[in-house]
Structure 1
Amino acid sequence: MYKCCIFDLDGTLVDSIKAINHTINLTLSKYNLGPISEENCKIFVGDGYKKLVERSLIHCKDYDLKHYKDALLTYTEYFKIYCMYKVKAYDGIKDLLNYLKNNNIKITVLSNKPHKRTIENVEVIFGSEYFDYISGERNNIKRKPNPEGAIIITRKLNISPKDCLYIGDTDTDMKTGIGANMDTIGVTWGFRSREELESYNPKYVVDHPKEIIDIIKKSCVEINNL
């Protein structure tokens, strides 16, 4: 039976693309660039805000990244203001989280969003002290897809990776979960396609949070039948 679920945040627990897209477009407008569409933004996210800014500038033909250093500062300042802009939990997520808590399964977050903004998103949408552990991007932890952050969570909670589910919506997440030797679930309601997720061969790909409940229930039945 699984003892812990490690969730990505953006595109997995919360639909935050409008906040990210709004912030990057405000940033680009400072340099008379952009805007970029939400669909392009979904492709540019996943590897942290620095990569988002870099990819967005290149998309807007700043190939030499002459605005990059200033744009990082600008994005950070705007994101402090707009990180909750139209952010909402995906349908079925709160039911899934309540099921996990009611069955004594730890719930955690591992995000490439800056740590303070990660905590803000989680606490505004789900409440404070609801999750057992929250980790955003910090200087002392390697960013996903490096599995270090996921492994740190297992150590903090004294849980083996084989007893964890890693759940995310991008190629970055598939690499992270698989690299941490965790059963990995790709979710199709986020920012990337089913085809992209399946190309990394996660253990599961699901279309709705209730399917994760079914996976956990099935694992319990299988253990009981051993």
Structure 2
Amino acid sequence: MTYSTLLFDLDGTLTDPFIGITRSIQYALDKMGASRIPEAADLRWCIGPPLWESFGVLLESEDKAVQDRAVALYRERYTTEGLFENTIIDGIERLVADLDASGRRMFVATSKPHAYAARIIEHFGLTPHFGKVYGSELDGTRSAKADLIAYILEEENIAATDCVMVGDRKHDLIGAKANKVAALGVTWGYGSRAELEAEHPEAIFDRPQELEAWVATS
């Protein structure tokens, strides 16, 4: 099967946002008066899912108003400091450049608000390789990967059978499956191999070079 279009998750797939995200979560929890503020290492699981979902667990609250307040506080720090406490994953620059040169269409598909994601992609010089950066709205609309991928397919007039989603968490693979889009898992991010295998992706890769080789021969 030849896939003419690739959708890439951002956090954990193209870049490593660990410092910026975890520090901003800790900041929000502190401002919210949380009884316990986890160490950064204990917040790894928060990288990937929508923020509302993570704060719901961290604050043990299903109250949307509480979650909204936590997200607003998170962004208070993230937009001024956390956004660029981030590093590009080794091998990604070559991967996207080579895929672009091969004629593949590529789009970023992230639960992060597109306004922030576009700045990160630009910061790392990747903008020329992507047709567009798609993400959620600030109010959380399309933060679920299934909704976001459906939106991209419609907006770009992409056939699901021509498209593959690349991501490091189960949310990426589940979202792809919901839209009948093929999915590829990568282990250099924040999901374990077991988490990815449970969603039965087309393949799982440990290095960007392996992903490039697979796309070239698929």
Fold match, TM over 0.5?
yes
What secondary structure, in the 3-state scheme, does the structure 1 residue paired with 2:79 have?
helix
CA distance in 1, matches of 2:145, 2:69: 26
What secondary structure, in the 3-state scheme, does the structure 1 residue paired with 2:158 have?
coil
- CA gap of 1:182–1:26, structure 2 versus 1, over 3 A, is same
Aligned match of 2:45 in 43, 55, 61? Answer: 43
- 1:118 equivalent in structure 2: 117
CA distance in 2, matches of 1:125, 1:91: 12
Note if contact 1:83-1:121 (Cα within 8 Å) is conserved in structure 2.
no
CA distance in 2, matches of 1:156, 1:66: 31
CA distance in 2, matches of 1:136, 1:65: 20
**Is 1:9 equivalent to 2:15 in the alignment?**
no
CA distance in 2, matches of 1:122, 1:85: 10
Please give the TM-score of this superposition, normalised by the length of structure 1: 0.85
Unaligned runs of 5+ in 1: 220-226
**AA aligned opposite 1:12:** T
What secondary structure, in the 3-state scheme, does the structure 2 residue paired with 1:142 have?
coil
Note if contact 2:44-2:190 (Cα within 8 Å) is conserved in structure 1.
yes
The structural deviation recorded for 1:63 is 9.1
CA distance in 2, matches of 1:85, 1:38: 17
Quick check: which has more Rg, 1 or 2? 1
Q: Deviations over 1:68-119 (max 9, x none)?
A: 4432321121121123243011111111101111011011111111221111
- 1:24 equivalent in structure 2: 25
Pairwise CA RMSD of aligned residues? 2.3
CA distance in 2, matches of 1:162, 1:24: 37
- 2:75 equivalent in structure 1: 76
Please give the TM-score of this superposition, normalised by the length of structure 2: 0.88
Unaligned runs of 5+ in 2: none
- CA gap of 1:218–1:25, structure 2 versus 1, over 3 A, is same
What secondary structure, in the 3-state scheme, does the structure 2 residue paired with 1:84 have?
helix
- CA gap of 1:65–1:111, structure 2 versus 1, over 3 A, is closer
What secondary structure, in the 3-state scheme, does the structure 2 residue paired with 1:200 have?
coil
**AA aligned opposite 1:104:** G
CA distance in 2, matches of 1:144, 1:63: 17
Counting matched residue pairs gives 215
Identity of aligned residues (%): 25
- CA gap of 1:102–1:64, structure 2 versus 1, over 3 A, is closer
- 2:142 equivalent in structure 1: 142
Q: Deviations over 1:152-206 (max 9, x none)?
A: 3233333311111100011111101111212210110101100110011111111
Deviates more, 1:64-73 or 1:98-107: 64-73
What secondary structure, in the 3-state scheme, does the structure 1 residue paired with 2:37 have?
coil
Matches within 5 A, 1:150-189: 150-189=149-188
Matches within 5 A, 1:189-204: 189-204=188-203
- CA gap of 1:179–1:65, structure 2 versus 1, over 3 A, is closer
The structural deviation recorded for 1:131 is 1.4
What secondary structure, in the 3-state scheme, does the structure 2 residue paired with 1:36 have?
coil
- 1:54 equivalent in structure 2: 56
